[in-house]
Each structure stands twice: as structure tokens, then as C-alpha cells.
Structure 1
Amino acid sequence: MEWQEEFECEEFLEIPQKTEKETLPAKSKKRYEFAYGRFKEWIKSHGINVISENVLLKYFYELSTTHKYSPPTLWNLYSMLNTTIKIFDNVDIEKYGKLLAFLKRKNVGYKAKQSKVFKATEIKRFLMEAPDNRYLLTKVAMIFGVAGGCRKGELPNVTINDIQELDGVLVVEMPETKTNIPRSFTIDEPFVTYVKMYLALRPPNVPTDRFFLNYQKGRCTVQVVGINKFGGMPKEVATFLGLKEPHLYTGHAFRRTSATLLANAGPSIISMQKPERWKSTQDEEGCIENLPHSENRTETTIQNESNCAEKNDRIDNPTPTQQKTSDQKTETATSMQDNTNDDLQSASEFTITRHNSQTCTINNKSGSLTINIQNSKVHIYNYKQ
């Protein structure tokens, strides 16, 4: 009995509650607490003392109608309240079937607005035509975002210690990511030139090791670049290029562009998940833009685009003679294969040869590209034309 009384002392009973509060995600703890605080203020203003399914139904109905919350926002809020209410009020709202049914009905027919993506030719044009004394920072951020598939929230965390040069190629390590899985990517020429140019402008004795510093009138300052600045860069690029609806190029544009270019180069979605850029197939599919089939070419990978952009323009807009020749070659190929492959529709088709679980070769008329994935790193070599 004495042991039981000591075991149930007040100090010991306080430990589980403190431990539960620490289960909130460290990066978004303030958001969780803010969402819970708003909900508690709402029930207090309505004179409600007990949390029930009907109370939560009324709360979410008001958010969806009066405040026009979108279905993804409602689900995000539900997830945060599910965690916080369980911790602070010991109520499990996962058991509320009517609430879940309401959220599912709201999601029916909803199509999320996704950021537009840049074509590889547009990226090259911006790099070549935009003046460096004004757009050098944006150019470097775009190179990092597209080459590494980086989120706008990951770019502020890049430090000068995360970048190393090996045989003329920059290797960038990303220790802090949204998925908490470190990854790396490489930057080749001619893009290395822009990064080195920006790095050379770094002021001496900067009190931070963060790589991205504010850039104005051809000079870097000691002020670091924040997430909101990165989020506005795609719109800045689209505006300079004179693209339609530049406001639709949001902070996700560079990452979606990276996914689209890589997907159009040939690798499957499963192989794209190998570098740990995306946690699930659903996340990856959401990042890929549905571009016309004629743009599915191996050279759309951004690292090779500077050498192939002009060729792509000729392929996209063939002359009548070129089109006739292309059709004849397609018919010949189909005949040789005894019509076993109905997918061969044009000369821009490619084939993928898998050598093993880590290596594959992509072939088409323009050339071949060998891709090897090891230790969460993508290595592209043996590019032949």
C-alpha cells in the first residue's frame, strides 16, 4: 500500500500530461496551439461548456459557409484539432462519424488550384535575358528550386557549408527538409556560373552562415532572405517573361517545374521517389503538370536543357517535310514490331531499359540518358546525342 501511495503522487501524475503536450510537431506547434485557441474562443463566445460532435459540426459548418474555408483547409484544421483536443480535453473526435462524413462531402468534386509550371525553354530564356544586377538572386533560387525540387520553406535553411564543389559540379546537401529525410542534388554547368557569381558577392564577416542573402543593385547585404521572398520569385520570373496570369506562378512553381521536367524525361513516379523528395505517390502526382505528349522528351531535364532547347523548338514545330518523314519512320517501326506496341505514335517516343533496381537507360531519337540512384542521390551520366 505504501508503494501504491508513492506511485500515485501528484508529481508523478503530472508527467503524462507534460509528455502529451510534447507530442505536438515542433515545427508547427504554434499553428496547432493557435487553431486550438481559436476553437476554444468560439465555444466560449457561444456559451458552450462541453465538446461534442454537434458542437464540432456547427463549428466546421460555420467555417465552410461563413468564412469560405476550402476542403483542404478544413481537413488540415480537423487534423490539428484532433490532436490538441485529445491532449488538452481528453476527447477523441476521430469517433465522430457525422463530422467525418460532412468533411468528405465537402471534398467531393473539389479541385485544388495548383501553381503553373515553367517550360525548360522559359527557364533558359530568363537566365540569359534577365539582367544579373537585378535578378541574380532570383536566378540562383530558381536553379536550386528546379535542380533540387526544393520547397520555398527549405531554401532559407541552406547554408554555405551545405555546398561543395567536386570536379566542376556543385553538390548541395539538404539536411533540413519537410520530410525530415536529408537529401542531396547536383548543379552542373552552365548553372554553376550563376551560383559562383552570387557567392562571390557575399560580404565579409557576415554574422550568419545562411547561403541566401538579400541582393539589391548588384550587391549582397547581410540581411537573410525569408520564405515569403522565395514564395514571390516565380511570379517575378513569369512577369519578366511576359507569361499569362503571372499570379498563378506561386511559391510551389519551382518544385512543380522540377517534378514535371523529371517526369517528362522518362523515369516513373516510383523511381522519382527514390531520392526521398516525395513521401507518397499522391504527393508526387500532385506536383506533376499534365503537359502535352509532344513534350515528353529526355532532354527536358533542366541540367541538359541549355544544350537542347533549340532542338526542342524544331521538334515541337516540324516542317511539313519533317512531319512526313517522321510519320514514315513511325509506320516502319510499327511494322517491324508486328503491331505489338500500339503506343508508338510519333518520333518523339522513348524506351526505358532497366538494368537493375537502381539503373536504367532512356533512349529516343535525340539520344540516350543513363540514370543511377544510390544512397538517395540521383546520378545522371552517359548522355549521348
Structure 2
Amino acid sequence: MIKVGFILGIAGACRTDELVNLTVDDIEDVGSSLITKIPRIFVVVDVGNMLELFRKYLSLRPPLVKHKRVFLYYKAGKCSSQPVGKNTMGKIPSVVASYLKLPDIFSDILTDAGVDITTIKRHAGWKSTTVAKGYVENSIENKTKIANQVLVGTTTSAITKTVNVSESNIPSNINFENCTNVTFNLNANK
């Protein structure tokens, strides 16, 4: 249940209540992917054994369950008919982060992957740019990049400086201290 909840949660940037209320009718298995509709459509592609894991989870569902919610409790190695609640579903990020020995798992995945704000908004179904900017600003990768810029004086972005030099204005000294990954392009026109 935790693995399937994690996969769907990441793939669809799902909120806890969206996962809790997800029904078997909301998911269409088209063979090479899952198409899920929870008020927005998202796709789970077959990476690793994700689809196999999802299919196996659904196959454990007891035949006489009276509701259609996807996530059910497991007790004594068997799937019960009791649906998973909001508190249990909300603990999935902490359980996964703890298992992986990470401080947080959901909040920074998209931003640390370099996904732009527009894509984050579209993926998560957010209308507000403020929420998406908060994730970008709080991204560990973004904070590391800023720390390197401030403390070390390095940047990962390219800086281009074009200087037109003639014989009369050749600089007497050029200082390139603390520079790494520097590329010079020299164009000589006579």
C-alpha cells in the first residue's frame, strides 16, 4: 500500500485526500501505463516494476469489498475491506523518507529535478504561482546553488562576456582567480 501510494502520489502530485478518495474506477490500465483521473488526469508510466506492483496490489483486493476505494488496510498478511484513512495516507512521505534516511521526500522532488514553475503548477494542479515558487525557493538543490554562489563564489550558470579588443585597447592584465570551467573563444579579424 505504501509503495503504490507513493508511486501514485509522486506521479500525480496528489494531495492526501485525493489518494484516500481514489477509486478503482478512477484508474484505467492501458497496458503500458495507467491513466488516472482525480479531478485532473495524470499518467503513470512503466518504469521499473511500477505497473506490476500496482496490478499486484489490486489483485489482492478481496472480492466482496462494498466500496471502490483503491487503498485498503492489510492485517495479518491479508488485505481487509477497511479503507485507508487520511492520517495513514498522510504518513506515507514520512515512512518513505525514514526508510531512505532522508529528511523529506515529496516537497523537493520536482524542483530538485530542475522542473520549471509552470510545469510544477500544471503537474500539481495549482493555480497559484506563489505555492510553486515556495517549493522552488525551499528546494535543497536551489539552496545549495545559492550557498555555493554566496560562500564559494561559484555559479552553475554560464556567464558570457564579449569584449572587442583592438591593438590600442588591449588590457595590460586580466585576472581569472578562482575560476573553474572557463572557456575562451577567440575570434581574430584582420
Residue 84 (structure 2) aligns with: 225
Q: Give deviations 1:252-283, integer Å, cap 9, x for gaps.
A: x53x2xxx332333342123323462111111
Taking the aligned partners of 2:92 and 2:47, their CA distance within structure 1 comes to 22
Taking the aligned partners of 1:269 and 1:237, their CA distance within structure 2 comes to 25
Taking the aligned partners of 2:96 and 2:119, their CA distance within structure 1 comes to 30
Q: The residue matched to 1:186 in structure 2 has which SS?
A: strand
Taking the aligned partners of 2:144 and 2:133, their CA distance within structure 1 comes to 17
1:212-291 matched pairs, under 5 angstroms: 212-243=71-102, 249=104, 254=106, 256=107, 260-275=108-123, 277-288=125-136, 289-291=138-140
Residue 54 (structure 1) aligns with: none
1:63-78 matched pairs, under 5 angstroms: none
Q: 1:200 to 1:188 in 2, by over 3 A?
A: same
Cα pair 1:183 1:275 within 8 Å, conserved: no
1:31-46 matched pairs, under 5 angstroms: none
The CA deviation at 1:295 is: 8.8
Cα pair 1:160 1:210 within 8 Å, conserved: yes
2:2 is aligned with 1:142: no
Q: The residue matched to 2:97 in structure 1 has which SS?
A: helix
Q: 1:203 to 1:163 in 2, by over 3 A?
A: same
Cα pair 2:12 2:124 within 8 Å, conserved: no
The CA deviation at 1:294 is: 11
Q: 1:139 to 1:336 in 2, by over 3 A?
A: farther
Q: Give deviations 1:12-52, integer Å, cap 9, x for gaps.
A: xxxxxxxxxxxxxxxxxxxxxxxxxxxxxxxxxxxxxxxxx
Q: Give deviations 1:119-149, integer Å, cap 9, x for gaps.
A: xxxxxxxxxxxxxxxxxx1111111111111
The CA deviation at 1:337 is: 9.5
The CA deviation at 1:213 is: 0.9
> Quick check: which one's helix share is greater?
1
Q: 1:217 to 1:197 in 2, by over 3 A?
A: farther
TM-score, scaled relative to structure 1: 0.35
Taking the aligned partners of 1:173 and 1:295, their CA distance within structure 2 comes to 36
2:56 is aligned with 1:197: yes
TM-score, scaled relative to structure 2: 0.67
Cα pair 2:33 2:43 within 8 Å, conserved: no
Taking the aligned partners of 2:30 and 2:80, their CA distance within structure 1 comes to 28
1:1-385 matched pairs, under 5 angstroms: 137-175=1-39, 182-190=40-48, 191-243=50-102, 249=104, 254=106, 256=107, 260-275=108-123, 277-288=125-136, 289-292=138-141, 330-331=181-182, 334-336=183-185
Cα pair 1:152 1:230 within 8 Å, conserved: yes
Q: Give deviations 1:304-347, integer Å, cap 9, x for gaps.
A: xxxxxxxxxxxxxxxxxxxxxxx98x43xx32499xxxxxxxxx
Taking the aligned partners of 1:215 and 1:337, their CA distance within structure 2 comes to 68
Q: 1:295 to 1:172 in 2, by over 3 A?
A: farther
Taking the aligned partners of 1:187 and 1:272, their CA distance within structure 2 comes to 18
Q: 1:223 to 1:144 in 2, by over 3 A?
A: same
The CA deviation at 1:239 is: 3.1
Taking the aligned partners of 1:287 and 1:337, their CA distance within structure 2 comes to 41
Taking the aligned partners of 1:200 and 1:337, their CA distance within structure 2 comes to 65
Taking the aligned partners of 1:271 and 1:195, their CA distance within structure 2 comes to 26
Instruction: Point out 4+ residue stretches in structure 1 off by more than 4 angstroms.
Output: 293-296
Cα pair 2:8 2:44 within 8 Å, conserved: no
The CA deviation at 1:214 is: 0.9
Q: The residue matched to 2:184 in structure 1 has which SS?
A: helix
Letter in 1 for 2:116: S
